[in-house]
């Protein structure tokens, strides 16, 4: 099993790189943001519960997120491994993921931290909003998401760094170059 966390701020390119990684490594991609958006567009009860939270750029409570994530992993018993994109976003989520994987005799092999500065994030998301139509991509909501990232999510890094699992990759540059650098990191996990 190869279980990887792709870590980085909103707009770091996690989705773009995940799509390339799953093809190369034959892993299952789990994006909690995509899952929440799917629930919202299907108007499920979970979707109704989280709709306003996403629209406001805030984090969904840990218990809801963790339950959804675990359910998604259980749906893929044949997987060779997973790419976790947008999860864990809090230390409590990271701890829950470790405990969950340990119960299955598995672990996180490594964490790829995509490094992108705030100016670049704002430029990219302003561009993305023109096509994504995501309500949480507007400038004010984006600031909230960046705020959530730097107040809560960033603490996930030392959690994994203590386990010696974090590799930093420059997230600015050509998509192919970034991909090659991520692959080198993964191949060394
Ligand atoms: P981005 O990385 O561009 O901010 P995502 O698609 O990963 O976008 O997430 C969109 C939204 O979904 C987040 O702003 C948050 O409301 C919710 N969300 C996604 N993953 C998590 C998580 N692990 N914990 C809590 N909320 C989450």
Mean pLDDT of the chain: 96
Tens digits of residue pLDDT in 73-95: 999 999 999 999 999 999 999 99
Tens digits of residue pLDDT in 61-75: 999 999 999 999 999
User: What distance in Å separates the CA atoms of residue 17 and residue 106, rounded to the nearest whole number?
Assistant: 23
User: Of the listed 37, 128, 144, 152, which one is catalytic?
Assistant: 128
Bridge pairing between strands 2-7 and 166-170:
unpaired
Q: Is 124 one of the annotated active-site residues of the chain? A: no
pLDDT of residue 133: 85
Tens digits of residue pLDDT in 33-54: 999 999 999 999 999 999 999 9
**Domain boundaries of the chain, sorted by first residue:** 2-188
Contact 137, 55 (CB under 8 A): no
pLDDT of residue 117: 93
pLDDT of residue 135: 86
pLDDT of residue 181: 98
Tens digits of residue pLDDT in 19-38: 999 999 999 999 999 999 99
**Total-model pTM:** 0.96
pLDDT at 132 exceeding the cut of 90: no
User: Of the listed 14, 124, 141, 165, which one is catalytic?
Assistant: 14
Half-sphere exposure of residue 26, counting CA atoms within 13 Å on the CB side?
4
- Cα(23) to ligand 1 centroid in Å equals 23
pLDDT of residue 74: 97
Q: Which atom of ligand 1 lies closest to the CA of 85?
A: 7
- Cα(47) to ligand 1 centroid in Å equals 13
What is the 3-class SS of the chain, one letter each residue?
Answer: CEEEEEECCCCCCHHHHHHHHHHHHCCEEEEHHHHHHHHHHCCCHHHHHHHHHHHCCCCCCHHHHHHHHHHHHHCCCCCCEEEEECCCCCHHHHHHHHHHHHHCCCCCCEEEEEECCHHHHHHHHHHHHHHHCCHHHCHHHHHHHHHHHHHCHHHHHHHHHCCCCEEEEECCCCHHHHHHHHHHHHHCC
pLDDT band, residue 134 (cuts 50/70/90)? confident
Q: Indicate the CATH number for domain 2-188.
A: 3.40.50.300
User: What distance in Å separates the CA atoms of residue 51 and residue 117, rounded to the nearest whole number?
Assistant: 28
Q: Which atom of ligand 1 lies closest to the CA of 8?
A: 2
User: What distance in Å separates the CA atoms of residue 175 and residue 178, rounded to the nearest whole number?
Assistant: 5
Tens digits of residue pLDDT in 166-178: 999 999 999 999 9
- Cα(4) to ligand 1 centroid in Å equals 17
Residue 112 class from Cβ within 10 Å (0-12 exposed, 13-18 middle, 19+ buried)?
Answer: buried
């Amino acid at each position: 099993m190869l279980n990887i966390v792709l870590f980085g701020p909103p707009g770091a390119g996690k989705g773009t790189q995940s799509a390339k990684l799953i093809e190369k490594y034959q892993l299952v991609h789990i994006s909690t943001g995509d899952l929440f958006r799917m629930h919202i567009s299907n108007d499920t009860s979970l979707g109704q519960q989280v709709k306003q939270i996403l629209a406001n750029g805030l984090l969904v409570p840990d218990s809801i997120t963790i339950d959804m994530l675990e359910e998604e992993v259980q749906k893929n018993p044949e997987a060779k491994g997973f790419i976790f994109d947008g999860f864990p976003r809090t230390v409590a989520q990271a701890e829950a993921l470790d405990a969950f994987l340990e119960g299955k005799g598995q672990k996180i092999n490594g964490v790829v931290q995509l490094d992108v500065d705030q100016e670049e994030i704002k430029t990219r998301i302003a561009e993305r909003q023109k096509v994504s139509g995501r309500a949480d991509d507007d400038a004010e909501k984006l600031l909230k998401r960046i705020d959530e990232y730097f107040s809560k999510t960033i603490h996930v890094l030392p959690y994994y760094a203590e386990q010696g699992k974090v590799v930093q990759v420059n997230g600015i540059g050509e998509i192919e170059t970034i991909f090659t650098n991520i692959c080198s990191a993964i191949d060394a996990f």
